[in-house]
Homo-oligomer: A and B are copies of this chain.
Amino acid sequence: MARAPEVRVLAVDPGTQVVGYAVLEWCTGRARVVEASVLRIGGKGTQASRLLALHEGLCEVIARCEPSEMAVEDIFLAKNARSALKLGQARGVVLLTAAERSLPVFEYTPAEVKQAIVGHGGASKEQVQRMVAARLGLASLPRPHDVADALAIALCHCQRVGLSRMGREE
């Protein structure tokens, strides 16, 4: 009988135009991609209507994929206060959606993601992507970069939490 997955995580990479997401399942030390794509929230409409589109898109992903938790990047830097504010707006909607659906949220800094996947916090984006592709058995590097980032965050979370939970069960 197949073991039930230990983790099914929805990782989200918030942006002001495009929001990458990835749902990964972690079972007996292996990660499997359930779904990975982008929500496009740019284009026409007001800021409020774009945030509503993001909220609705995330709710659909959660209803379809039924994750047990959410992972997001813990952002420290932005180009400037104006872009940090816009990014924060999208991030606020992402966190609210998790809380509404009772998904616990785990946050990882970029260095933690690199450390978990490549083994050192100063790894390049390309190194991270190559390792993500190898671990998930992807035929090519994940694209666009929003999806690649979401996959990396999801994999980081699976490794961290999945391994610690396996440790407790043994």
Q: Which residues of A contact B (CB under 8 A)?
A: 46-49, 51-52, 55, 75-78, 80-82, 84-93, 95-96, 98-100, 105
Contacts of A95 in B (CB 8 A): 47-48, 51, 89
**15 intermolecular pairs with C-beta atoms under 8 Å apart:** A47-B95, A47-B105, A51-B92, A52-B96, A52-B99, A55-B96, A76-B81, A76-B82, A78-B81, A78-B85, A86-B88, A91-B92, A92-B93, A92-B96, A96-B96
Q: A81-B80, A88-B87 are in contact. Are A46 and B96 (CB under 8 A)?
A: no
* Interface of A: prevailing SS: helix
C-alpha gap A87/B82 in the complex (Å)? 11
- CB contacts (< 8 Å) of A46 on chain B: these are 99, 105
What is the total number of copies of this protein in its complex? 2
**A132: shortest Cβ distance to chain B, in Å?**
25
The 9 nearest A-B residue pairs measured at CB:
A88-B88, A89-B92, A92-B92, A52-B99, A84-B84, A48-B99, A85-B88, A81-B84, A48-B95
In-complex Cβ contact of A78 among B75, B84, B90 (8 A)? B84
The CA of A46 and the CA of B99, in the complex, are separated in Å by 9
Can you add 9 more A-B contacts, CB < 8 Å, to A85-B85, A85-B87? A47-B105, A48-B95, A48-B99, A51-B96, A52-B96, A76-B82, A77-B81, A88-B88, A93-B93
Give the Cβ gap from A159 to chain B, nearest Cβ, in Å: 22
Instruction: Give the complex CA separation of A55 and B46 in angstroms.
Output: 19
